[in-house]
Structure 1
Amino acid sequence: MPTCNGQRPHTFPGSHLFLFIALLLTTVFNQAGAQNGAFRITDYGAVGDGITLTTLAIQSAIDAAAEAGGGRVIVPPGKYLTGGIELRDNIIFELQGGATLLGTDQLDAYATHEGTDQHGKAIQRRYLVSVTGVKNVLIEGKGTIDGQGKFYWETPAAPPPQWIKAKTPRPNALLEVADSENITIRDITLTNSPNWTCHIMHSQDVVVDGIRIINDLFAPNADGIDITGSQRVRVTNCDITTCDDAIVLKTWKDGQPCEDVTVTNCTLETLCAALKIGTESYADYRRITFSNCAVRAASRLFAIYVRDGGTVEDVLVSNITGSTKAPLVLNRPIQLMIAKRTPESPVGRIRNISIDQMSCETDGRILLTSIEPDRISDVRIRNLHLRYPFVEDPTAAGSDIKSAQFPTTLPEVLTAKAAIVAKNIDNFQLEGLTITWPEYQVPEGWQIPVRIINGDFNRKFRYDYQQPKQTELGVFWGENLNGGRLIIPEAAPSSPTVQKIELNNATIQYQATN
């Protein structure tokens, strides 16, 4: 019917009308989101069914927020299968409680950047969540990033304890912050990482607070938090369970130094080192603190490894308690080591290291070694308590060890029978050491049926736990110690028949009795 002006009214078929309303509502929602600074990934097409690949939808929400000058990108409850996503400047990325990002098994869907590995080799680096070359980013919430690492691992050849082998290629990190400034990561959970979990590389002013990392204890290279060549980094209140190093600092070839890093108030469990510096040590480390951490179990509570010529200096470690109850041989409460990665590698330095107030339940020895004199200096250990539920004989594995985590060129160190073993150190000070040796039987939790060795997929060790002491240990063994002092009158060897202190070519002063 014609209208009063002679024109027919405009009408919409049903499907066109629905499309018009949907587009109108989407525009309204997006405008409201932009006005409120909030961009929900579901408004951009993300489906939280754990099946539909939502990479483009998530990235679209991030890009829209960036184009608006910044904003809050919200991941609501649901499971979102995704490839690599990249955050932008001035973004708050909120994983709400009940929200999970699931890493896809399609490696070519990961974010890719041209880069290098730790030894300077050019590679393509792939991450699930990438924070690269940006400023002012906050990642927060009670949600989870799940890397589904099993897609990138071989099926274990034997039941635990057994290292899992990695497939190649695989992602480089679950979450990586690279060449960025003013970044905060807090409260989220990271789990099932196919490789490193949280990597902070060549960045400044980074805070990691209150996150949880939950990985398989035998997952390949699944470090918890790696801090590479970065400055002004604070890690606090984190809980980490993982296979490889829990919190580790590194410096890469042609990279930046690590400076002004603080780690505090964390709980850790790992089959490697709980708190570690190295082994990658091409540039220097300065002003590092580790404090107030509880280690449920680890192969080492604290370790420094210099193999690439760098210097580690001005490190404070305090108020650490824990256990080396890992299903490995040759666990060490503390290890400082200078070695060479290759025959051509320069020899680095470790100096001005202070360790105070540490208590460790252990089966192994503290190793403090350099391949050359005058390379480790000014090391102070005070108020240290070692409690032995079981004493391992270091000759069982130490006489044929090949792992680069040990001073393999110093065989006398590998088999020295003392609670603390030190070689080639200037001005070493040990004060306030106490040791509790095993009693009549090994506690059930320490009767580990099979033990494995770091870096070796084949060798297995089985101990007779009817013998709480597989050997007797002295208190201290030292060689080529120049200066310093031992004030350890309260520490006794595991048997009166064993020499308490054994020194070779040493000018160190000591007080062994009251």
Structure 2
Amino acid sequence: MKLGAAFVFVLLLLMASSLARAEVISYPRVPGDAANLDYPSVKVNGTAIDTCSTAMNVGYAHCAFPDKAEIEITTREPIKTFDISPHRAGVVAKAVGNKLVFTLAKPVHLHISVNQLPRFFLFTEEPESSVPKVGEDGVFELTALGVRSSPEEVQTKQLQRAIDEVSARKGTLLIPPGIYRTGELQLKSHLTLYLAPGAVLKGTGKIADHPRSDLGTQLLLLQDCEDVHIQGRGVIDGQGRQLRLSGENSSNSRSKLLRSMRARNITVEGVILRDAGTWGVHLIESEDLRFTNVKLISNTRHDDPTFPWEMNTDGFDPDNSSRVLIERCFISSNDDSIAVKLRYGTRRDCSSIVFRNNICWTVKSALKIGSEVYEKKLSDVTFENNDVIRADRGIVVYAYDGATVEKAVWRGNHYEFIGGDTKRMLMEIKLNEDDGKGQLRDLLIQNETFESEAETPSKLQGLDATHQLENVTFDNLVIAGKKRLSAAEARIEISRHVGEVRFK
């Protein structure tokens, strides 16, 4: 009886293990992508996951599972050094030859560096809770509307016609696996755009397919619309590097991936946005916007030193917009991870921007307000619980153009490395007079942790006697493992026209 019970117990364990393996979903490479030769194999609970190379010289793999998973990554050379971020995820890995092995207690997006190989991202997430299916009410598959996957054919007109038709029906446009080449598309009200795993909306890399307006150029435009939702585990690829090369870096070639103008009630969830010509997501004069679990990968000089121009590939730029939530996103960009602005559109007071639980890698600034903040008031901006893997500056406010900036909070963010570019500062907060004199006040920097010192001291700076930087509070500021209780301890230079600065 004891032997029988033991046998049943072992059998149940094997069945449970088999079930766990079956729950891993490998999201396929989209057509046209090549396997990654630097990281040729990724396995999750024994399931092989497709690896992907990009024109930006970074690679990634993408999968889903519900909870704990064993990860095995094989590299093209023996592993001598490695780093897995975010460090706060607490991943404990072991390198054996050219294999990196570790366990994840739950899905999390990871940034992996091995030796001097290009950077690699492992995107792991929970399975989708709701997937539209052909035959359901209000679901329209793209192929049924006359658009077929093609690696060469540009189908902008056909895609726009499908968008217009499904929008008019207040339905869901399901884009199945395949490659769909397109120029600028305008998304309309009452539309859900679902990109299935293995589907890619791919730019053409040609300026002629991106008509220029007063706003500039973009791949997806959401203008004067409401109730638009972009979902799924597919890819939106702007072909930005090719576009800028073909246009010799002209303003027309610096195309954004997604731009909104006077849009309301917009959600973007789950998709991969990659290879913007300039800013990734530009949100102008829009309200009630939510971005969740978006993976945004842009070109950087760090990865692509042969690219002839410095790339202003910001991640997110909320601009004259209110009630914006960006959470659980992964952002790899050359320029600012997020820069909250008052620049384009009708100048007005804006508030309630929340950027939380994101992972950021940038050559420039990580958590930023500015530089362009014109005339009106920007308030209630919160950066919370983000992991900054790399940035040249961590906390930044550039109030340069006459607006009032107030009630901004940085809370619980973790910064792994600061430096590598021109300024190399933990923080830079200042007023300046480029196009008007503004106000800057009521800033709370709370429970912020920097793993190490920066080369250059941080700076606080006002403008003049009537345009001061006022009421700055540092509460539990930790740098290189030590709580700092004064500006001197924190290596913060307090320049001219700065009011009360408190340390707790």
In structure 2, the residue matched to 1:347 is 437
Query: Structure 1 residue 45 and structure 2 residue 141: aligned?
Result: no
Equivalent in the alignment of 1:404: none
Q: 1:324–1:333: 8 Å Cα contact kept in structure 2?
A: no
Match of residue 446, structure 2, among 356, 359, 375: 356
Distance 2:249 2:186 in 1: 25
Residue pair 2:187, 2:222 contacting (<8 A) in 1 also: yes
Q: Which amino acid aligns with 1:256?
A: R
Q: Does the aligned pair in 1 maintain the 2:397–2:430 contact within 8 Å?
A: yes
CA contact (8 A) 1:154 1:167 kept: no
Q: Superposition pairs for residues 473-512 of structure 1, below 5 Å?
A: none
Q: Compared with structure 1, are the counterparts of its residues 197 and 256 closer, same or farther at alpha carbon in structure 2 (3 Å cutoff)?
A: same
Unpaired segments ≥5 residues, structure 2: 1-132, 302-309, 482-487
Q: 2:235 aligns with which of 134, 138, 144?
A: 144
Rounded to whole Å, the distance in 1 between the matches of 2:211 and 2:294 is 23
One-letter identity of the residue aligned with 1:45: G
Among 86, 92, 110, the alignment partner of 2:192 is 92
Compute the TM-score of the two structures, normalised by the length of structure 2.
0.66
CA 1:332/1:172 → structure 2, altered by over 3 Å: closer, same or farther? same
Q: For the pair shown, which has the larger CA radius of gyration, 1 or 2?
A: 1
Q: Match of 1:471?
A: none
Matched, 1:185 2:257: no
Match of residue 279, structure 1, among 371, 392, 397: 371
Checking the alignment, whether the CA contact within 8 Å between 2:479 and 2:490 is kept in structure 1 is no
Q: Deviations over 1:336-388 (max 9, x none)?
A: 011122xxx32111100000111112333211112323421001112112229
Q: Is the 8 A contact 1:41 1:61 kept in 2?
A: yes
Q: Contact 1:111–1:128 at 8 Å: present in 2 too? A: no
Secondary structure at the aligned position of 1:47 is classed as coil
1 CA distance for matches of 2:165 and 2:201? 19
- Given the two structures, how large is their TM-score scaled by the length of structure 1? 0.65
The match for 2:160 among 47, 59, 71 is 59
* 1:493 alignment counterpart: none
State the Cα distance separating 1:36 from its structure 2 match: 2.1
**1:315 aligns to 2:408 (yes or no):** yes
Q: Is the 8 A contact 2:418 2:426 kept in 1?
A: no
**Alpha carbons 1:34, 1:65 under 8 Å: kept:** no
**Is residue 387 of structure 2 the alignment partner of residue 294 of structure 1?**
yes
Q: Tell me, which stretches of 5 or more residues in structure 1 are unaligned?
A: 1-31, 116-124, 156-164, 389-415, 433-514
Q: How do 1:311-460 and structure 2 match up within 5 A? A: 311-341=404-434, 345-360=435-450, 361=452, 362-374=454-466, 375-387=468-480, 419-432=491-504
Question: What does residue 20 of structure 2 align with?
Answer: none
Letter in 1 for 2:495: K
Match of 2:297 among 214, 218, 221: 214
> What is the identity, as a one-letter code, of the residue corresponding to 1:93?
L
1:232 corresponds to: 323
The two structures, once aligned, show a CA RMSD in angstroms of 2.4
Superimposed CA distance per residue, residues 303-349 of structure 1 (whole angstroms, 9 cap, x where no aligned partner): 110111101001111001113444214311111011122xxx32111
Q: CA deviation at 1:35?
A: 7.5
Cα distance, 1:426–1:337 mapped onto 2, change above 3 Å: closer
In the TM superposition, what is the alpha-carbon distance from 1:88 to its structure 2 partner? 0.9
Alpha-carbon distance, 1:72 to partner = 0.2
Q: Give how far 1:172 is off.
A: 3.7
Tell me the matched-pair count.
353
SS in 1 for 2:433: coil
Tell me the equivalent position of 1:175.
258
Preserved contact between residue 86 and residue 111 of structure 1 (Cα < 8 Å): no
Find the counterpart in structure 1 of residue 335 from structure 2.
244
Local SS of the residue matching 1:196: coil
Task: Tell me if 1:306 matches 2:399.
Answer: yes
Deviation at 1:38, TM superposition (A): 1.6
After superposition, the Cα gap between the structure-2 partners of 1:418 and 1:302, relative to the gap in structure 1 and judged at 3 Å, is closer
1:106 aligns with 2:206: yes
Q: Any idea what SS the aligned residue of 1:153 has?
A: helix
Amino acid at match of 2:342: T
Alignment correspondent of 1:264: 356
After superposition, the C-alpha distances for 1:58-91 in whole angstroms (9 at most, x for unaligned) are: 11111111222x1001111111111111111100
